Structure 1
Amino acid sequence: MNVAKRSWMVYATLLVVFWGVWGAFSSQPNTRYGYPNEMIYIIWAFTMLIPAYFALRGNRFDRRPVAAMWGLLAGLTGAGGQLLLFQALSDGPAYLIFPVVSLSPVITVLMATVLLRERIARLAVVGVVIALVSIVLLSIPGGGSSNSHGPWLLLAIIICAAWGAQAFCMRKAALVGVNDATTFGWMTISGLLLVPVAFAMMGGLPSGAPWQAPALTAVTQVLNAIGALFLVMALSRGKASVVAPITNALAPVLTIVLSLAVYQTLPNIWGTIGIVLALVGSTLMVYSDEKGGEEPAAGPDLAADAAVGAGHGAPAVPKS
């Protein structure tokens, strides 16, 4: 297998690991200490500075308008969707909101195939469909709610579209020659720009929260931030129509496995079916990519950028 052509698999795997672990523990600050979700967002925005520093070290920050446009679009769609999710969850049932939001890879696949002319093999198409079904099933938690309609539905649809577009913007940024470090840098800036909005939604700093709440939040959100960098790197090297469904399907599987090990929490029947479908769908997509191969993308990756000091980005080749 050509390692250069398949390097997206490495970054997608790292993404699944980091987001899978983050997913297993991300709710603890809120459920254990009652820490506001908006404060969790604010801490996450600042933790983005950590991977951004390491990504930009040794790489030139691309100051072209096209780099700023696609980087800001990727950042604002991701961070804006996160803020809207807090509002949606305050108005509607999570067990209905998350299945809607989880369809975001559908938006990515449609945009990639229509606007970027990405083509995937028939076997990969089957894998994409299976993975998308698994994502919905994995996002259905136990329990229910009588509030099955309301303004939250529109917000959920907007979030779905925003997060689907985010992955597309990451891919498009790489296609126009923007390096990974620059795209992630603009995403970091976007997240920080929305910090005042989060403060306004929260109504001020929380009082009475123990030190463990922000500390645990910082640790878990660093995993989230690093995962976001790996998403940029995976999308700059692999097709968005394949990377988005795979990562969105496999990260929840790891989260469920870790939750089973740590909290002794068994998945519901839908989650169990979703795990099987996620593994099957992802396997089909990876096998199809190995068999058919991808067109090599233009431009050096982050490692090459660091080596030559050029910083022109990932091969010319989506949370949060």
Structure 2
Amino acid sequence: MRDQRNWILYAGLLVLFWGVWGAFSSQPTERYGYPNEMIYVIWAFTMLLPAAVALRRERFDRRPIAAVYGLAAGLTGAGGQLLLFQALSNGPAYLIFPVVSLSPVITVLMAVALLRERIGKLAVTGVVAALIAIVLISIPAGDHGSADTGSWLLLSILICVAWGAQAFFMRKAALASVNDATTFGWMTISGLLLVPVAVLMMGGLPDAPWQAPALTAGTQVLNAVGALFLVMALSRGKASVVAPITNALAPVLTIVLSLVIYQTLPTIWGTIGIVLALGGSTLMVYADEKREETPQPRLPSAPLAGP
């Protein structure tokens, strides 16, 4: 039986790995013009490393239910990533990312409606604060003018739904007693299955100096390990809490690291988002700790039998 309170530990590790990854993830493209599709390809192969480590500790679950939920989680995640590249080629990133960032809303709605998860008023306040923070942090600086609504909006909505459903399927796998290593193993297989699609999208392998794939591999390992921690956090905590808290705090760490490394100040919206993310996450963790510490009512003991 998993310790349900361990989700805080794994969520924290996820925030650490994804926060650091976010601060350096753009470097291959900025330094060497490395295509996003090639970054996806390398990311898919870096998933093999944490998958191998995880599968050394847990047996691969061969049940059909494990394959269904594992592939569902993997294909919605990897498929959403490929759709993101297509959306960015057709529309403005400053509008696409705020739409995509609403994916935890999908997770929360699915968890409450389909998994019957219940969260207290204090945790609800934290979830709302975290969701608002995610959107605010996604708002970039500067006046970008207007943008015509096109296919990118539909793609952004599809990505939002796909990534929100991914967290839901991870949680469903855990409720079906599928171990973390198996779920992550199927996610790795799903990512590799879409590698040929990514190669076709960019029209073949690009010419680039060796530093580009090396730097990409170094940063994407952080992404891959973070994905494993997401599986582990969702197998122990409520999807309606884990998804908002991790999606809110990872960008906060990225912003802080960017401030230190690149001397980049957050926007006013980003600053407000940071405050809301920290406050909302604190409320959710406090509510979870309070729920765990609440003593459960004891059942009356049966009377002793008489002589």
TM-score exceeds 0.5: yes
Aligned equivalent of 1:280: 279
Aligned equivalent of 1:260: 259
> What displacement does 1:294 show?
9.3
CA distance in 2, matches of 1:18, 1:222: 9
CA distance in 1, matches of 2:113, 2:249: 25
CA distance in 2, matches of 1:34, 1:179: 39
Instruction: Give aligned-pair identity as a percent.
Output: 81
Aligned equivalent of 2:158: 158
CA distance in 2, matches of 1:278, 1:265: 19
Q: What SS does the aligned partner of 1:35 have?
A: coil
User: Does 2:128 correspond to 1:129?
Assistant: yes
For 1:71-86, list aligned pairs within 5 A: 71-86=70-85
Please say if residues 5 and 293 of structure 1, whose CA atoms lie closer than 8 Å, have aligned partners that are also in contact: no
The TM-score with structure 1 as length reference comes to 0.90
CA distance in 2, matches of 1:277, 1:133: 7
Aligned equivalent of 2:60: 61
Aligned letter for 1:212?
Q
Aligned letter for 1:109?
V
> What displacement does 1:147 show?
2.3
Residues 182 and 294 (structure 1 numbering): CA distance in 2 closer, same or farther, change over 3 Å?
Answer: farther
> What displacement does 1:146 show?
3.3
User: Does 2:130 correspond to 1:104?
Assistant: no
Task: Give unpaired runs (5+ residues) of structure 2.
Answer: 295-307
CA distance in 2, matches of 1:58, 1:238: 21
> What displacement does 1:58 show?
3.2
Aligned letter for 2:174?
A
Aligned equivalent of 2:191: 191
Aligned equivalent of 1:202: 202
CA distance in 2, matches of 1:23, 1:70: 27
For 1:226-265, list aligned pairs within 5 A: 226-265=225-264
User: Does 2:162 correspond to 1:174?
Assistant: no
Aligned letter for 2:238?
K
Q: What SS does the aligned partner of 1:293 have?
A: helix
Aligned pair count reads: 292
Aligned equivalent of 1:147: 147
> What displacement does 1:292 show?
1.1
Please say if residues 105 and 164 of structure 1, whose CA atoms lie closer than 8 Å, have aligned partners that are also in contact: yes
CA distance in 2, matches of 1:118, 1:181: 24
CA distance in 1, matches of 2:249, 2:60: 32
Residues 61 and 213 (structure 1 numbering): CA distance in 2 closer, same or farther, change over 3 Å?
Answer: same
Q: What SS does the aligned partner of 1:57 have?
A: helix
Aligned equivalent of 1:314: none
CA distance in 2, matches of 1:293, 1:171: 20
Aligned letter for 1:190?
S
Aligned letter for 2:14?
L
CA distance in 2, matches of 1:180, 1:104: 22
Aligned letter for 1:176?
A
The TM-score with structure 2 as length reference comes to 0.93
Aligned equivalent of 1:221: 220
Aligned equivalent of 1:310: none
Larger Rg: 2
Aligned letter for 1:196?
P
> What displacement does 1:136 show?
0.3
> What displacement does 1:49 show?
0.1
Residues 63 and 195 (structure 1 numbering): CA distance in 2 closer, same or farther, change over 3 Å?
Answer: same
CA distance in 2, matches of 1:283, 1:19: 19
Aligned equivalent of 2:12: 13
Aligned letter for 1:227?
G
Please say if residues 35 and 213 of structure 1, whose CA atoms lie closer than 8 Å, have aligned partners that are also in contact: yes
> What displacement does 1:145 show?
4.7
CA distance in 1, matches of 2:57, 2:113: 35
- Which deviates more, 137-146 or 114-123? 137-146
Please say if residues 5 and 294 of structure 1, whose CA atoms lie closer than 8 Å, have aligned partners that are also in contact: no
C-alpha RMSD over aligned residues: 1.3
- Which deviates more, 52-61 or 10-19? 52-61
> What displacement does 1:212 show?
1.0
Moved over 6 A (4+): none
CA distance in 2, matches of 1:266, 1:118: 38
CA distance in 2, matches of 1:59, 1:261: 39
Aligned letter for 1:13?
G
Q: What SS does the aligned partner of 2:57 have?
A: coil
Deviations 1:136-156 (A, max 9, x none): 001111232532411100000
Please say if residues 93 and 145 of structure 1, whose CA atoms lie closer than 8 Å, have aligned partners that are also in contact: no
CA distance in 2, matches of 1:5, 1:70: 21
- Which deviates more, 238-247 or 4-13? 4-13
Deviations 1:20-69 (A, max 9, x none): 00000001101111000000000000000000000000321111110000
Q: What SS does the aligned partner of 1:160 have?
A: helix
